[in-house]
Amino acid sequence: MPQKKYADTDFFLALMKDSDWLKDKAKKIYGENKENIFVSPFTIVEIMIVCKREDVPVKETLIQISRIAKLDTLTWDIFYKSCDFMEKGATIFDSLLMAFCSEDDQIISSDKIYEKFGFDVIDLKK
Give the domains, in start order, of the chain with CATH numbers: 5-123 (3.40.50.1010)
pTM for the predicted model, two decimal places: 0.83
Phi then psi dihedrals of residue 87, to 5 deg: -65, -20
Beta strands in 44-119 (DSSP E): 70-71, 106-109
**Which tens digit of pLDDT belongs to each residue from 12-57?**
999 988 888 999 999 999 999 999 999 999 999 999 999 999 999 9
Answer for the pair 108, 90: CB distance below 8 angstroms, yes or no. Answer: no
**Whether the predicted pLDDT of 2 surpasses 80:** no
pLDDT of residue 1: 63
